[in-house]
């Protein structure tokens, strides 16, 4: 592909806080412009599995994560550049509040020159919404804000009060009434997985398009200004110099219980030369022939009984473990690897037993945050997000290194070929370490 600067319309959806309606509005915009015949590429800021599933269905295009700390500046630049070559519009959905985190959504938007639109739930306020938006827009000189999207706006009079209080430089892009028909369903770790409610989502997307078109302010329905996207130093869609997984097959668990899979991770394995095959621990009775396994995160606690009762698959995975071939088990995959798992209702079920210990859900209390997995094969960045605990596990080979806190992060276990942890790894952060891990290499010295 061309290595020249590419210009593509782009907008970054941000908010003063979480739960303002960013995902709903991003999905609605993606579907609206897709229905206009536009190719819409959507990105999600930060580590997130569930929102991208929703946004991918809305846009009918793959959705990738952008995070400067987890992925690296050059990686984010490359993904935006590659998208700009095929897209008519790029949408980026922020995480949490506009300036929350380090790096924040504002940092990402400023780095790549993408203008931001502020999504705000304005229920219970009027002129104050304008004051908050104006403050956000002027908090930093390196961030460009194109306007305010007033979500859950009660009436035209309500909208008028906000509109009149905004400066001319910060227009009201849309005024959207509260509408339960377009609200996206949720679960204890976030939104429900798209494939579970695919038909319902289609109804909500179509309702959301009507919802947008009924806004008293329609500035949001015009393509934004084009942004210049520049080539990165590395093309991450191309294979690296070392084809460390050339000729190897990696089997990936993928079903309703295991679906926390970054497309970027699959692409990373492919770029290393691996062939990827999928299997279902819920439904399949055997494993496909493979040189390595990846048990990603998901919701095994919601399917613990079915996973336990699929004894043929449990036996197959136990046999694979006995060969000493590499297995990566992340979060839900680690819970599946333990001897037992207790679900949210307190029912206890036998699991694989390839890692000593028991796992149990613990309601609303949990752990989350950015961490680096420090393992003998090399450091791989990622994050933790779980509401369960594990106990009676073996001595870890190491712990995650937290982004900002000196306390040890999540424990990391290695037994035979198994590497297991609560951490969700972002493979592009260290392709060589990932290649070593799935090649069965035990340490950096061995891979050198």
Active site residues: 331
For residue 41, the cross-strand partners are 90
Going by their DSSP bridges, the two strands 398-402 and 367-375 should be labelled as antiparallel
CA 13 vs CA 60, 152, 177, 305, 375: distances in Å: 19, 16, 18, 40, 36
For residue 190, the cross-strand partners are 187
Q: How many angstroms separate the CA atoms of 183 and 377, rounded?
A: 43
CA dihedral sign, ordered 151, 154, 159, 162: negative
Q: How many angstroms separate the CA atoms of 148 and 265, rounded?
A: 35
Question: What one-character-per-residue DSSP string does 407-424 give?
Answer: SEEEEEEEETTEEEESPE
Distance of CA 81 to the CA centre of its chain: 19
CA 394 vs CA 29, 30, 70, 162, 289: distances in Å: 48, 46, 28, 58, 29
Question: What one-character-per-residue DSSP string does 205-264 give?
Answer: HHHHHHHHHT-S--GGGS---EEEE---SS-TTS--S--TTTT-EEEEE-SSSEEE--HH
């Amino acid at each position: 592909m061309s290595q020249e600067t590419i210009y593509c319309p782009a907008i970054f959806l941000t908010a003063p806080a979480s739960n303002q309606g960013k995902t709903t509005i991003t999905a609605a915009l993606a579907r609206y412009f897709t229905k206009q015949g536009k190719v819409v590429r959507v990105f999600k800021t930060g580590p997130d599995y569930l929102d991208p599933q929703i946004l991918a269905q809305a846009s009918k295009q793959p959705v990738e994560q952008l995070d400067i700390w987890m992925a690296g500046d050059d990686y984010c630049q490359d993904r935006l550049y590659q998208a700009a070559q095929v897209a008519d519009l790029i949408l980026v959905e922020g995480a949490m509040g506009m300036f929350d985190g380090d790096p924040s959504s504002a940092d990402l938007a400023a780095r790549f020159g993408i203008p931001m639109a502020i999504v705000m739930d304005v229920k219970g306020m009027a002129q104050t919404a304008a004051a908050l938006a104006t403050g956000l827009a002027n908090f930093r000189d390196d961030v460009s804000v194109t306007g305010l999207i007033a979500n859950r706006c009660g009436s035209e009079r309500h909208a008028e009060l906000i509109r009149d209080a905004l400066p001319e430089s910060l227009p009201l892009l849309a005024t959207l009434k509260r509408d339960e028909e377009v609200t996206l369903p949720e679960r204890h770790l976030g939104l429900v997985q798209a494939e579970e409610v695919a038909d319902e989502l289609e109804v909500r997307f179509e309702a959301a398009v009507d919802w947008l078109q009924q806004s008293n302010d329609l500035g949001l329905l015009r393509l934004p200004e084009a942004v210049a996207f520049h080539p990165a130093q590395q093309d991450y869609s191309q294979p690296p110099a070392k084809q460390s997984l050339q000729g190897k097959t990696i089997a990936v668990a993928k079903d309703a219980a295991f679906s926390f899979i970054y497309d970027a991770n699959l692409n990373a394995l492919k770029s290393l030369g691996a062939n990827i095959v999928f299997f279902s621990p819920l439904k399949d009775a055997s494993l496909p022939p493979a040189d390595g396994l990846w048990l990603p995160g998901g919701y095994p606690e919601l399917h613990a009984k079915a996973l336990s009762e699929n004894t043929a698959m449990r036996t197959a995975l136990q046999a694979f473990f006995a060969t000493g071939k590499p297995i990566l088990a992340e979060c839900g995959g680690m819970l599946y690897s333990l001897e037992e798992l207790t679900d949210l209702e307190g029912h206890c079920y036998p699991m694989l037993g390839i890692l000593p210990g028991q796992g149990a859900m613990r309601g609303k209390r949990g752990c989350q945050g950015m961490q680096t997995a420090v393992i003998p094969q090399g450091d791989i960045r990622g994050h933790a997000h779980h509401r369960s605990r594990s106990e009676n596990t073996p001595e870890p080979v190491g712990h995650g290194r937290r982004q900002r806190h000196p306390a040890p992060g999540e424990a990391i276990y290695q037994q035979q070929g198994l590497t297991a942890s609560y951490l969700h790894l972002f493979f592009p952060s260290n392709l060589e370490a990932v290649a070593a891990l799935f090649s069965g290499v035990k340490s950096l010295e061995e891979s050198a």
